[in-house]
Amino acid sequence: MSRTIVGVITTTFVIFIYGFLFWQVNALPYEALQQTSDDVAAQTMLKEHFPRSGSYYIPGRQNSEADFIKLAEQGPVGFVHIDIDGKPAFDPAVMIRGLVLNFLFVSLLAGLFKITRATEFRDFARTSLVAGAAAVLLIDGGNIVWWSAPINWQIWFSIYHFTTFVIAGHLLGIFMKTKASTIG
């Protein structure tokens, strides 16, 4: 049990560092984002048209069915997440919440390994590969299919999520394996 606890804590910090490197040091994902022609004007327009912080789908579902169809077909269509009050550009609280999120994820993955009775390293590797692929397909694929998330942006989430499952599964496998086995 103590090897599992050490494994969960170690893996939490490893994927935290991996996430920082992937999203903060690696500039490639952000090349998928578009740039407004005028951020100040865009922020002014956002404050004018979005009354509260939250998520908005445009055209909104509060329109009549006929109006919704007409507006959707004529475009533009958008899904906007907005914080009207702004936020710190680099908020340390986000890092703390991210660390807690990683801990919960790794703990659940360790629980999955216990439920599936993983004992050899290859059990952990295979289970993390399948669980990661299933999660990415449903969640990230769902964002593309159901919410029209652009593939060139969503693919970065897919890569990050899948590789995080693989790293976490393999690292937990090193700590949690119970039978003498070789890595492979």
User: What DSSP string runs through 50-67?
Assistant: --SSEEEEES-TTS-HHH
pLDDT on residue 180: 61
pLDDT on residue 113: 97
pLDDT on residue 172: 97
Ranges of the chain with pLDDT below 50: none
Torsion of the alpha carbons at 13, 15, 18 and 20, rounded to the nearest 10: -70
Q: What angle do CA 57, 58, 60 make, to 5 degrees?
A: 75
pLDDT on residue 151: 96
pLDDT on residue 129: 97
pLDDT on residue 183: 54
Owner of token pair 């077909």: 73
Question: For residue 140, what are the contacts with CB-CB under 8 A and spacing of at least 6?
Answer: 154, 155, 157, 158, 161
C-alpha–C-alpha distance, residues 77 and 60, integer Å: 10
pLDDT on residue 3: 93
pLDDT on residue 56: 94
